[in-house]
């Protein structure tokens, strides 16, 4: 199943090629696929300290360290690293680019081995469950039977829930953050607007932009701008930008980016297209839309968690209106009904959905304490870190 060399840390990333065909939820088959991943920390001798990190819609496997495309810090360095709640001195962290993504795992921008052409829209639709299956292959490869924890925010949180439901024996604890057991109508609506923006860009070329030598950057940027608004709260926008003007003393009576918020959004849109594939955006938003964990279990969410022995730590944020606390509460109630062991914390913040990526001390305290308690119960030894000061 595993080789000794597989246990070495892969902080800069590695690629696992899955040679055996994967049957997807849609019924389609992927005869071959790649899973790009990173690992941090050291897998202990009994392989009991592994934590799988599931990234969100536009995240990737570069949790820690310099991002190869943007040159920016890893997306979860707030939470993961030496001495952090996801402590690389104590745990072995694994994060894989999702199936359908565009940072090395197979997705619509990959080459179809059967045709030697870019998949584009011929790539089969993937679901959250398919993503989780691909991650399970990766864990097999790494020789990890059971995860100490699986953690993620937003779409990552959906994968966390799917993990607990699909592989109950492989998960000791699950931490879904700012997540939901199904994508709401409102959220599907936002995604549809984003997809239509991409498709309305003439450079999209019916999804075959690679062949046409174009890139639908304008459409994708608009999609990102719209989505970005949903990641923040009204209060946070007011606090950060208010009605402040951008590099000018007065309004221009035109359609320039007069306001700071406009300039900020345009910047967000423009930088996003440098690192993200438009078709991957269509596929991943669709995977979120299709997610409905109860539907796969006779309409009863509690049934999804029937066989789980995992401990859960459900976390939401007060100002998150994209994945509001009510969604987390529905998960908690289902977990109650299946008598699972669950902690549930709603964290007070005005930073909206994106709070899970930010400096939120209460999030850190919660994750640290929960993991410490799980690690203790699972018999994971505490690493001694001489000279290390833990906050």
Partner 1 sequence: MTMQEARVDHTIIKDFVPEGARVLDVGCGDGSLLALLEQTRSVDGRGLELSQQGVNTAVARGLSVIQGDADTDLVTYPDKAFDVVILSETLQATQAPKTVMEQLLRISDKVIVTIPNFGNWRARLHLLLRGEMPVTKSLPYSWYDTPNVHFCTLRDFLSLARELGASIEASAALDAHGDQLTWNVPWSVWNLVAAQGIFVLTSQSPKDTA
Question: Which residues are part of the catalytic machinery?
Answer: 154, 320, 353
Strand partners, 74: none
d(CA 361, CA 368): 10
Q: Which lies closer to partner 1 via its Cβ, residue 248 or residue 377?
A: 377
Segment contacting partner 1 by CB under 8 A, of 62-70, 230-238, 250-258, 369-377: 369-377
If one asks whether residue 373 binds partner 1 (CB under 8 A), the answer comes out as yes
Residues 285 and 211 sit within 8 Å (Cβ to Cβ): no
Applying CB under 8 A, which part among 66-74, 190-198, 248-256, 372-380 lies near partner 1? Answer: 372-380
The answer to whether residue 388 forms part of the interface with partner 1 (CB under 8 A) is: no
Write out the two tokens for 166.
């699909």
Q: Which residue in 84, 182, 191, 311 binds partner 1 (CB under 8 A)?
A: 311
Residue 313 sits in the site that holds partner 1 (CB under 8 A): yes
**Contact status, residue 312 vs residue 342, Cβ threshold 8 Å:** yes
- Which pair of tokens denotes residue 327? 């969604």
**How many whole angstroms separate alpha carbon 350 and alpha carbon 236?**
6
Rounded-to-integer distance, Cα 324 and Cα 316, Å:
7
Q: Binding partner 1 by CB under 8 A: which of 376, 381, 385, 388?
A: 376
- Encoded tokens for 171: 């998960």
Report CA torsion sign: 360, 323, 375, 370. positive
Alpha-carbon distance of 312 to 290, in angstroms, equals: 23
Contact 172, 310 (CB under 8 A): yes
Minimum CB distance to partner 1, residue 325 (Å): 9
User: How far apart are CB 372 and partner 1 at their closest, in Å?
Assistant: 6
Give the residue from 154, 114, 144, 157 showing the smallest Cα distance to 51. 144
What is the smallest separation between the CB atom of 55 and partner 1, expressed in angstroms? 24
| Interaction between residue 378 and partner 1 (CB under 8 A) | no
Query: Which member of 145, 300, 369, 388 binds partner 1 (CB under 8 A)?
Result: 369
Between 260 and 372, CB nearer to partner 1: 372
372 binds partner 1 (CB under 8 A): yes
Give least dist CB 331 to partner 1, A: 10
- The footprint of partner 1 on residues 327-366 (CB under 8 A) is 329, 332-334, 336-337, 339, 341-348, 362, 365-366
Stretch that binds partner 1, among 9-17, 72-80, 104-112, 306-314 (CB under 8 A): 306-314
Q: What minimum distance in Å lies between the beta carbon of 127 and partner 1?
A: 28
Tokens of 63: 């949790």
Shortest reach from residue 262's CB to partner 1, in Å:
36
How many residues form the binding site for partner 1 (CB under 8 A)?
26
Give Cα separations from 17 to 36, 50, 111, 137 (angstroms): 9, 21, 14, 10
CB 354 within 8 A of CB 319: no
Contact 55, 150 (CB under 8 A): no
Q: Which residues bind partner 1 (CB under 8 A)?
A: 311, 313-314, 329, 332-334, 336-337, 339, 341-348, 362, 365-366, 369-370, 372-373, 376
């Amino acid at each position: 199943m595993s080789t000794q060399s597989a246990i070495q840390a892969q902080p800069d990333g590695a690629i696992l090629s899955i040679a055996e065909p994967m049957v997807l939820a849609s019924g389609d088959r992927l005869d071959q696929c790649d899973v790009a991943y990173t690992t941090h920390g050291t897998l202990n001798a009994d392989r009991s300290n592994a934590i799988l990190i599931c990234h969100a819609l536009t995240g990737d496997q570069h949790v820690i360290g310099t991002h190869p495309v943007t040159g920016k810090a890893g997306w979860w360095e707030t939470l993961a690293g030496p001495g952090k709640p996801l402590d690389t001195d104590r745990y072995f962290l694994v994060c894989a680019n999702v199936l359908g993504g565009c940072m090395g795992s197979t997705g619509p921008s990959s080459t179809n081995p059967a045709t030697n052409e870019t998949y584009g829209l011929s790539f089969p639709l993937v679901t959250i469950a398919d993503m989780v299956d691909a991650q399970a292959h990766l864990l097999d490869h790494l020789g990890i039977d059971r995860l100490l924890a699986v953690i993620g925010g937003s779409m990552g949180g959906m994968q966390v829930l799917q993990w607990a439901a699909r592989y109950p024996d492989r998960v000791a604890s699950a931490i879904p953050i700012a997540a939901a057991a199904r994508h709401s109508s409102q959220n599907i609506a936002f995604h549809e607007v984003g997809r239509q923006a991409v498709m309305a860009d003439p450079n999209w070329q019916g999804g075959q932009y690679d062949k046409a030598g174009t890139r639908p950057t304008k459409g994708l940027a608009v999609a990102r701008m719209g989505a970005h608004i949903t990641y923040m709260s009204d209060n946070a926008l007011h606090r950060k930008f208010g009605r402040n003007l951008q590099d000018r003393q007065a309004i221009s009576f035109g359609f320039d980016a007069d306001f700071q918020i406009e300039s900020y959004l345009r910047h967000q849109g423009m930088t996003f297209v440098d690192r993200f594939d438009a078709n991957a955006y269509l596929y991943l938003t669709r995977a979120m839309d299709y997610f409905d964990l109860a539907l796969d279990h006779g309409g009863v969410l509690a049934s999804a968690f029937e066989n789980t022995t995992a401990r859960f730590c459900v976390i939401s944020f007060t100002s998150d209106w994209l994945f509001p606390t009510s969604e987390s509460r529905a998960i908690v109630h289902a977990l109650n009904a299946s008598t699972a062991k669950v902690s549930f914390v709603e964290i007070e913040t005005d930073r909206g959905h994106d709070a899970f990526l930010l400096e939120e001390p209460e999030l850190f305290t919660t994750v640290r304490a929960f993991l410490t308690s799980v690690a203790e119960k699972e018999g994971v030894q505490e690493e001694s870190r001489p000279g290390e000061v833990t906050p």
